[in-house]
Amino acid sequence: MTVAAKPEACLTEVEASVERLVYVREDDYTIARMSADDRPGFVAAGRALAGAQPGETLKLAGEWDEHPRHGGRLMVRSCERVAPSTVRAIALYLGSGLVRGIGPRLANAIVGHFGEQTLTIIDTAPERLTEVDNIGAVRQGQIVQAWAEQKEIAGLMVVLQGFGISPLLAAKIYQAFGKDAREVLASDPYRLIGRVKGIAFHTADRIALRSGVPEHSPQRIEAAIADRLEVAAARDGHCYLPLPALVAMVSELIGPEEGLIRRAIDSLVAERRVVVESSPEHPGDSGRLVVYAKELHAREVALASHLDRLRRARSTLPMRGYAEDESLHEDQRAAVNLALTSTVSILTGGPGCGKSHTVRAIATTVRAMGGSVTLTAPTGKAAKRLAELTGMPAMTVHRMLAHRPDPEEGTLFQQTPATADMVVVDEASMLDLHLATRLAAAIPDGSHLLLVGDADQLPSIGPGNVLTDLLRVAEIPRVRLTHVFRQAQDSGIVRTAHRIRAGELPVLPGGGGFWFEELDDPEKVADRVVHLATEAIPRKQGVPREQVQVLCPMRKGATGTAELGRRLQERLNPAREGVAEHWSGPAVFRVGDRVMPIRNNYDKGVFNGEIATVTAVDVQERVVELRTDDGESVSYSFGELDELTHAYAISVHRSQGSEYPFVVAPIVAEAGGVMLRRRLLYTLVTRAKAWVVLVGQREALELAVRRLDRRRNTGLTRRLAAMTEN
């Protein structure tokens, strides 16, 4: 049955101010509490509200309905931003934090002085702001600048709505391009890709086509080629794509004939933006070509070269007074000998096999012989865990490369950490191509590089598969620890992990640290996960809720990180009347939230994977204050919040290098269970120290155990093997 749309004449029009946001969904569906002179405190909802901010005055059109929770509600069909006209609306707008530097008290003072002419004064005679108490020349300049920025963002919102693009992206575009934002949108919207989070090729392409860019223009085809290479690297970890596959992907994306795509690739090669060479599996075969983005090709070549340089260099490690530690297991002693005699080596093994104890023995031996050691790991959590397990100082690879001293202990090493006689990198499976290249380049000839990791865990989030690639090079010495020590044999977590690694289903329902609870419906699985994490486990185990971490195989769906994280936040840290909060897209930041940086920020000294707590949300200055688990204070402006994610429910990938006392995870085959693979399940289980509880479908668990990971397209093994043959 077709339902006729309601005629426009039936729409109710309301002009109202946004008091606060109640809910924002990833598809832009927004619920807001609004206030109009004749109707205070009503609720409006709809995707047309996307981008609405507290303090704005909106002209809404929609229909009223009844909601069981919100009561009378305006379902918004169209939304237009208008300048606030009443004294109350102007004061709310200025005091909402939209204009940085003005809080509620100062807003009331400004409006009290200028009345309904306030916005006109700021626009046309901003020097008069100094007539208001507590506004000097400096603050007056800050207000004028912030006012200009806000007007520009509002204008961008209108432009984006004309393209059918979410206005939520306006502030991000302005932050990336400033006053040039409108020119970028008009002349080369493909520049938005990679610069503005939330804008992928499809969004930029929609703007370009509506701006008159021809469908088969070289500009569009080249942008599509670059996008497919970038997506392959970011989503699948590939360093290259086979030429035929890339051509097919671009054709599927935008539709031009193969000849146009191949000519565009030739043009990008001539401009040195991509590299085409023979396949690593078929070197020298001109009929089997692959395509690299220039940067990834350069880094792969450089990494192979630096590792070969280190491998061939003569050791500077002093060997005086070396004696074998008879307390070690024989394969641990072999690992110590290998690390001392090889300038590049690998130590690998599963849980309970004594990797950390072996690393401690290696470091102790080197120092006893008069040498120096740097212990490092890719993330702050992994470095902290390494320090705890070995009883020795450790730092992140990023800090080692930057040679930043520890804020509490000062400089931990007598020399530049990367120039130590031995550099040990734990959790080496997390090294992507970018970080591994920087690491290898920083180590001088003669120093030893020992990579330590579990090759059966997930590969890095970034492109490349460094540890696995190096293990495929026969000439690189390695030791795999296989002996599971007695104390580890009693752990259900260790037993389960080794069964998963061998492709065997865990013993169900489990015990001794591992438990599987079978439920079929994803919604019920989500309910159970929330209950276990917030109520059942803390109560039964007598531990604070902070010791229970929810890990998710996927981001989307009822059991994904986004939805479960939202539910956990509402249970553990709900909105409170009168307490400041800030919505950044579909995420809301509140004091007390646990958050995690998802990008390294060297200026702030924070790195991907660290955990922090929100200590303040300053609406007036538009910043969120954090305190990391290491005790450091960090500020993020509202425009930088894309660099943070909430840590209530995190992906298994982002949990790498960390351990948690208790882990709860949903295991369901939503959307085909595309992420359910053996390495992911193995990594998930090994993140827990005391208990891991899996909730979900038995068939999803079986799927994860038997499904192997897709191999990443990398050329590092071939490059390094070719060098070692010479």
Question: For 527-553, how does the pLDDT look when each residue is reduced to its tens digit (9 = 90+)?
Answer: 999 999 999 999 999 999 999 999 999
pLDDT winner (highest mean) among 124-138, 200-214, 273-287, 333-347: 333-347
| pLDDT at residue number 411 | 43
Q: What does 347-358 look like in DSSP terms, one character per residue?
A: EEE-TTS-HHHH
d(CA 711, CA 237): 9
Buried b (16+ CB within 10 A) or exposed e, 70-105: beebbbbbebebeebeeeebbbbbbbbbbbbbbbee
CA distance readout (Å), 254 to 38, 186, 217: 51, 20, 11
Q: Rounded mean pLDDT of 691-702?
A: 96
Taken in order 710, 714, 719, 720, is the CA torsion positive or negative?
Answer: negative
Q: How many residues does the chain have?
A: 726
Q: How confident is the model at residue 408 (pLDDT cuts 50, 70, 90)?
A: very low
Judged against a pLDDT cut of 90, whether residue 150 lies above it is answered with: no
- CB–CB of 346/451 below 8 Å? yes
Q: Is 101 annotated as a binding residue?
A: no
* Residue with token string 């479908």: 697
Q: How confident is the model at residue 26 (pLDDT cuts 50, 70, 90)?
A: confident
- Residue 638: what residue type? F
Q: Is 384 annotated as a binding residue?
A: no
Q: Rounded mean pLDDT of 210-224?
A: 93
* Residue with token string 């609406």: 619
173-182, 417-426, 562-571: the lowest-pLDDT one: 173-182
pTM over 0.85: yes
What does DSSP say about strands 274-278 and 71-82: parallel, antiparallel, or unpaired?
Answer: unpaired
Q: How confident is the model at residue 487 (pLDDT cuts 50, 70, 90)?
A: low
Q: Is 72 annotated as a binding residue?
A: no
| pLDDT at residue number 162 | 82
| pLDDT at residue number 169 | 86
What are the backbone dihedrals phi and psi of residue 494, each rounded to the nearest 5 degrees, phi first?
A: -65, -45
Preceding amide of 509 cis, omega within 30 = yes
| pLDDT at residue number 409 | 42
| pLDDT at residue number 8 | 47
- Residue 508, judged by CB atoms within 10 A of its CB (0-12, 13-18, 19+), counts as middle
- The residues pairing with 63 across neighbouring beta strands, listed in sequence order, are 75
d(CA 692, CA 516): 9
Judged against a pLDDT cut of 80, whether residue 131 lies above it is answered with: yes
Query: What percentage of residues in the chain have a pLDDT greater than 70?
Result: 95
More confident residue, 698 or 83: 698
Show the CA angle centred on residue 517, arms to residues 515 and 522, nearest 5°. Answer: 135
Judged against a pLDDT cut of 60, whether residue 6 lies above it is answered with: no
Write down the mean pLDDT value for the chain.
Answer: 90
d(CA 373, CA 364): 9
What are the backbone dihedrals phi and psi of residue 130, each rounded to the nearest 5 degrees, phi first?
A: -70, -10
| pLDDT at residue number 501 | 94
246-255, 657-666, 672-681: the lowest-pLDDT one: 672-681
Q: Is 10 annotated as a binding residue?
A: no
Distance of CA 34 to the CA centre of its chain: 33
What does DSSP say about strands 478-481 and 344-349: parallel, antiparallel, or unpaired?
Answer: parallel
User: Taking the domain 313-403+412-484, which CATH number applies?
Assistant: 3.40.50.300
Q: Is 284 annotated as a binding residue?
A: no
Judged against a pLDDT cut of 50, whether residue 2 lies above it is answered with: no
| pLDDT at residue number 153 | 86
129-138, 242-251, 664-673: the lowest-pLDDT one: 664-673
Half-sphere exposure of 541 (CA within 13 A, CB side): 20
| pLDDT at residue number 406 | 44
Q: How confident is the model at residue 129 (pLDDT cuts 50, 70, 90)?
A: very high
CA distance readout (Å), 659 to 388, 426, 460, 516, 652: 12, 14, 17, 19, 11
Judged against a pLDDT cut of 80, whether residue 696 lies above it is answered with: yes
Taken in order 502, 504, 505, 509, is the CA torsion positive or negative?
Answer: negative
* Tokens of residue 256, six digits: 């031009």
- The answer to whether domain 218-294 has CATH 1.10.10.2220 is yes
- CB–CB of 684/571 below 8 Å? no
* Residue with token string 């090759």: 455
- CB–CB of 465/433 below 8 Å? no
Preceding amide of 506 cis, omega within 30 = no
| pLDDT at residue number 7 | 45
Judged against a pLDDT cut of 60, whether residue 414 lies above it is answered with: no
Nearest to 91 by CA among 171, 19, 14, 167: 19
Q: In angstroms, what is the C-alpha Rg of the chain? A: 29
Show the CA angle centred on residue 579, arms to residues 573 and 585, nearest 5°. Answer: 70
Note the pLDDT tens digit of each residue in 247-274.
999 999 998 889 999 999 999 999 999 9
Q: Rounded mean pLDDT of 483-505?
A: 88
Q: Rounded mean pLDDT of 632-639?
A: 91
* Tokens of residue 655, six digits: 């949990």
State the architecture of 492-706 in CATH terms. Answer: 3-Layer(aba) Sandwich (3.40)
Long-range CB contacts for residues 501-510, cutoff 8 Å, separation at least 24: 501/350, 501/456, 501/678, 501/682, 503/678, 503/705, 503/706, 504/705, 505/701, 505/702, 505/705, 506/701, 506/705, 508/698
- CB–CB of 59/13 below 8 Å? yes
DSSP assigned state of 712: P
CA distance readout (Å), 644 to 21, 52, 293, 585, 601: 20, 21, 27, 12, 11
Say whether 331 sits in a helix, a strand or coil. helix
What does DSSP say about strands 395-396 and 373-377: parallel, antiparallel, or unpaired?
Answer: parallel
- The residues pairing with 709 across neighbouring beta strands, listed in sequence order, are none
- Residue 323: what residue type? A
Q: Rounded mean pLDDT of 294-302?
A: 97
